[in-house]
Amino acid sequence: MKVSGKTRVCALLGDPVEHSLSPCFQNAAFQHLGLDFIYLAFTVKAEDLRSAILGVRSLGFYGLNVTMPHKISVIQYLDELDENAEKIKSVNTILNRDGRLIGYTTDGIGALNALKYNGVNPCGKKIVILGAGGASRSVSFALAKEAEELVILNRTVARAEKLVSDVRHLIVRSEKIRWGGLTEENIRKELREADILINATPVGMSPNEDETPVNKKYIHPDLAVFDLVYHPLETRLLKEARMVGAKTINGLSMLIHQGAASFEIWTGIKAPIEVMMKAAEEELKRRT
């Protein structure tokens, strides 16, 4: 990679960022297409976010990804939000268009595209989402109009209820979106006729690989199981789902597809998904 005074800089801002795979697969995509871009990652503490965004403006950074804990707080420093970011009140991608910082969210479309890329069409399906945090929020907004029925289960029921209330403003048939507690009984009942299960909780993430949010006896072969966790690539939930014959999708697929959507916002060029996926997989293997 040749870097010059003409090289356009994109970056990830968050805390922490040391674990991020984004520099690996974004730079692989830039190099593959011969684009004069470079992608870096910067640790930015919450109290330094304002000055970091001022620095982005002054230095002329071309694009940004924003990760936890800044996806909401960064909005106050931007000039404009696209329609989806405005609805969800969350930003993970920023484009510097002639000095104007425009915020986008690609998390939801990343999940939707990951499902379709892996041969799972959510249109007209019953979808059960575990968790009601930031990841669940983005996914729920993206899938609400696609699903025939959407159920959000969370340990703190009030948080699930609030998320459902927010999502219901987007659709006509509000009764097709429901909430409940993340209990074994609700999981058993809701998964019986579910088509897609999405784990949007951190349960099963390294170093707690032995944990799972769902007892394997409730997983059936007609279920597609999508775990947003990508470290490890195959969580216990996915391993047990695969063993009963269910379709499985790991969290790396969503990470790559949301990154691809960011790439396309910055460059206006279709992202090389396979190149990005291969680079990320090789980096994960190297780390383990």
Residue tagged 């330094």 (tokens): 48
Neighbours of 282 (CB within 10 A): 13
285: CB partners within 8 A, 6+ apart: none
For 74-86, give the DSSP string. Answer: GGGG-SEE-HHHH
Which pairs count as long-range contacts for 26-34, CB under 8 Å and 24+ apart, including other chains? 26/259, 26/262, 26/263, 26/276, 27/1, 27/279, 28/275, 28/276, 28/278, 28/279, 29/260, 29/263, 29/271, 29/272, 29/275, 29/276, 29/279, 30/1, 31/1, 32/272, 32/275, 33/267, 33/269, 33/272
Q: Which residues contact 214 (CB under 8 A, 6 or more apart)?
A: 130, 187, 191, 197, 199, 237
| Closest to 142 in 3D by CA, of 156, 160, 129, 155 | 129
What is the full DSSP assignment across 245-262? T-EEE-HHHHHHHHHHHH
Q: Which residues pair with 14 in a beta bridge?
A: 43
Catalytic residues: 71
